[in-house]
Chains A and B, each alone.
Chain A
Amino acid sequence: MEVLGIWVAAFFTLCIYSFLYRDNPFYRFAEHLFVGLSVGYGIVFSIHQGLIPFAWDPFWEAITKREFMGLLKLIPIFIGLLFFARVVPKYSWLIRYPIAILIGIGAGRAIPNVMDARIFRQVYGTLTPFGQIHAGALGFFEIFGAILMLVGVICTLTYFFFSIEHRGAVGGISKVGIIFLMVGFGSAFGNTVMGRVSLLIQRVDFLLSDWLRLI
């Protein structure tokens, strides 16, 4: 079974790589089969590790134990079932109910937590080193780094501030912001190359080592 698995995996690996030459039936075969398997896999997990523990089990428990509080859990289950209204065009508007609840929950909890984690804590992180400078705890390079960070953050924010026309001093500051952004994007590109090549190395290692046993 293990050997068969390796050969099957190698076959599909080569089917996908055949796309490097050009689009062809082998690639399309693998691509479509992959989509089907992924969806099937998703269905199994959604049911076994989502709907059963979160909806079916509480439902069954509420029914068998006949507890009033347990029956309250039927309300979200019923709301969730409204997603199926999508298949009946006449009642498809009912799908807005569960979507509205999910979006409301998401928006409500985002406001305080995002404000704290991504605004206050980030501003705090930017300004903390200046307290340390004042206390004489930082060396020359750290002080330079702290100033550079503050300048970078202000300039980048200015670049994204579209309520004022980017001319004169604002234009100059936003141009410095672009410099920081470009270096940031450059570093992201460099790391992306590493990420993509890692995937290739793993597949080549599989073909040479597990399949062809050359290593």
Chain B
Amino acid sequence: MRRQVPLILCFLFGIVMMLVEFSPHPISEGLRAEVIKWDLIIGPFALVIGVITLVHTHVIRVKRRVEHWQYSYLVFFGMIVMVAFGLPTGPKNEVFEWLFDNVQVPMEATMFSLLAFFIASASYRAFRARTLEATLLLVAALIVMIGNAPIGDVLWNELSPVGDNIPSTARQWILDNPNLSSRRGIILGVSLGVISQSIRIIFGIERSYLGGGD
């Protein structure tokens, strides 16, 4: 009941979904549409787990008075404010949108923009041509960087007597050729892995998604 039924459900839904993909018959198309609907209905409930886990984590932080526990109240405050304005009327609420535009968006955008500083610092400290492989990586990165920057073509066209727009052309060649080959190799390898893992899941060989316990 606790493990066998989920394994059977996984097998049934997996097999049905796989078979209907191959068959253009109206009955199988209908079945496929129905399974997709089930997925769409069940899926949103999964988001509950995320919220429960986050709230639980911060409740524990407050209870145990871990370092900076006071800030957990801010998490609850932010959450309650958004829900209070958004839930009754829906996401087209003016205050809800204002909070998103002027608080959430700037903070998230700025948080990720910090990476520009860290990537520059890391490039200076750690990007070393120690080996042939590292040198290739470094050279490719520099060519793509300069090829991406409009100033690369401008400087080349001004200073070099040979060819036009060579930096952006070289960048494009790298992306179109060696990059494409290596990425395709990765795609093929990963896809074979996805397929074998999917088969293992459907046939109940891979069961880690059931978690621990009986």
Q: Which residues on A sit within 8 Å (CB–CB) of B37? A: 73, 76
The answer to whether residues A5 and B98 also contact, given A105-B35, A118-B188, A190-B141 and a CB cut-off of 8 A, is: yes
B101 nearest CB neighbor, chain A only: A5
State how many angstroms separate the Cβ of A124 from the closest Cβ of chain B: 11
Could you tell me the dominant secondary structure of chain A's interface residues? helix
Q: Is A172 an interface residue (CB 8 A)?
A: no
State how many angstroms separate the Cβ of A67 from the closest Cβ of chain B: 15
Interface positions of A from 93 to 131, Cβ below 8 Å from B: 93, 95-115, 118-119, 122-123, 125-126
The residue that B141 contacts in the complex, of A6, A76, A118, A187, with Cβ under 8 A, is A187
Q: Is A30 an interface residue (CB 8 A)?
A: yes
Q: Is A20 an interface residue (CB 8 A)?
A: yes
Contact across chains for B45 and A33 when beta carbons are under 8 A apart:
no
Contact across chains for A83 and B49 when beta carbons are under 8 A apart:
yes
Contact across chains for A96 and B211 when beta carbons are under 8 A apart:
yes
Contact across chains for A152 and B185 when beta carbons are under 8 A apart:
yes
Q: Which residues on A sit within 8 Å (CB–CB) of B76? A: 36
Q: Which residues on B sit within 8 Å (CB–CB) of A109? A: 17-18, 21
Interface positions of B from 73 to 117, Cβ below 8 Å from A: 74-83, 86-87, 90-91, 96, 98-117
Q: Is B60 an interface residue (CB 8 A)?
A: no
Contact across chains for A107 and B211 when beta carbons are under 8 A apart:
no
Interface positions of B from 7 to 59, Cβ below 8 Å from A: 7, 9-18, 21-22, 35, 37-52, 54
Interface string of A139-178 (1 = CB under 8 A from B): 0000001001101111111011000000000000000011
Q: Which residues in B have some Cβ–Cβ distance to A below 8 Å?
A: 2-3, 5-7, 9-18, 21-22, 35, 37-52, 54, 68, 71-72, 74-83, 86-87, 90-91, 96, 98-117, 119, 123, 132-134, 136-145, 147-149, 171, 174-192, 194-195, 197-199, 201-202, 209-211, 213-214
